[in-house]
Amino acid sequence: MSSSKRYLNTKEVAQLLQVNEKGVYALVSDKGLPATKVTGKWLFPRHFVEEWLDLSIVNLPAAANPSLDSGRLFIAGSDDLLFQRAINLYNSHNQDSVVFFANIGSMGGLRALRQRSCHIGVCHLLQDDNEEYNFRFAEQEMGQAPVFINFSKREQGIVIGSGNPKNIRSVSDLAQEGVRIVNRPLNTGTRLLLDYEISKSEISADNIAGYDLEVGRHLEAGLAVLGGKADAAPAIRPVAELLGLDFIPLRWERFDLLINRDRFFEPPVQRFINLLHDPSFKEIAKEFVGYDLSVCGKMIYPDNLKI
């Protein structure tokens, strides 16, 4: 059979797929094998058949995502001001190995890591024990626990207008008449924390005007308050400081980088981790209030990595 032939007949497709000719007809009707009928005979465009075969692969090998082997660094997960500056710094130092970041929330980052569509998932998910972050979520989502590298600890809370014109003192005050918020998406750690705080209070989400109005980034939440579109928003302290807004602290949280073990020692991943120890990154971090870098760049799980 000539490999340059554009169209295959039924017998040739059967040979290519290693099935009998009746099996080919079944694949056309049941599995969408690309085909066309000309004067009563089936013809199969070879390149479409080969694409169909590639797309039908299951149990793809762990290292078989070609994008992750391109030298570029793919990161997905949670939004953060200092983390964006770290990405910019990496890109300025590694122009042949740029970072591509998908802002899809902490759970989105975990799923992308499980699906092997990124090198690093960025997460800050508060566990039910109200103490630890990320471990239990990774255990539920992943087959094998990834490596955990801390990026920072950061202060989460409620951003409110300068001078606190609506007299908001706690999460419960978000349900006051005349108070409106903007929220963060369901798959984010910030939303998870707000829902946890609401569950501890005497109010419910139904009592909060604007609870269902979502914005994608912390800075967007702060800008909504600054622009008068909302009276309050769950966000991190650095946003409040940057925009000159007031802030009601809720807790310090751990903001982690999760990496599949078989990708951990790859050069782009190691370059990003090493960047966190670079003096230029430490200088950038000094521009912000609301971060604790005492564990930044350190492996917090496992204690003794064995790939």
Question: What DSSP line would sit under 98-156, residue for residue?
Answer: -EEEEE-HHHHHHHHHHTT--SEEEE--B-TTSS-BSHHHHHHH-SS--EEEEEEEEEE
Residue 89, in any domain of the structure: yes
Q: Are 141 and 267 contained in the same domain? A: yes
Range of the domain at 198: 156-252
Q: Is 105 left (phi over 0), alpha (psi -120 to 50) or beta?
A: left
Q: Are 128 and 212 contained in the same domain? A: no
Residue 248, in any domain of the structure: yes
In degrees rounded to 5, what are phi and psi of residue 59?
55, 50
3-class secondary structure, 283: helix
Q: Are 31 and 171 contained in the same domain? A: no
Q: Are 86 and 229 contained in the same domain? A: no
pTM confidence score: 0.76
Q: Are 86 and 113 contained in the same domain? A: yes
Residue 61, in any domain of the structure: no
Question: The domain spanning residue 192 has which CATH number?
Answer: 3.40.190.10
Residue 2, in any domain of the structure: no
Q: Are 270 and 238 contained in the same domain? A: no
Decide: 170 and 249 in contact? Cβ < 8 Å: no
Q: Are 180 and 264 contained in the same domain? A: no
Q: Are 245 and 280 contained in the same domain? A: no
Residue 307, in any domain of the structure: no
3-class secondary structure, 170: coil
Tally of domains within the chain = 3
Provide the Cα torsion 225, 229, 233, 237; round to 10°.
-20
Q: Are 99 and 214 contained in the same domain? A: no
3-class secondary structure, 231: coil
Token pair belonging to 227: 């622009």
Which residue blocks in 142-299 are alpha helix, DSSP H? 189-200, 218-226, 237-243, 267-275, 279-285
Q: Are 180 and 227 contained in the same domain? A: yes
* Cis ω before 302 (30° cut-off from 0): yes
Residue 1, in any domain of the structure: no
From first to last of the 307 residues of the chain, give the pLDDT tens digit.
444 567 788 888 888 888 888 888 878 776 667 777 777 788 887 766 776 665 454 444 444 576 787 789 999 999 999 999 999 999 999 877 889 999 999 999 999 999 999 999 999 999 888 889 999 889 888 878 899 999 999 999 999 999 999 999 999 999 999 999 999 998 899 999 999 999 999 999 999 999 999 999 999 999 999 999 999 999 999 999 999 999 999 999 999 999 999 999 999 999 999 999 999 999 999 999 999 999 999 999 986 554 4
Q: For the chain, how many residues are written?
A: 307
Residue 213, in any domain of the structure: yes
Residue 14, in any domain of the structure: yes
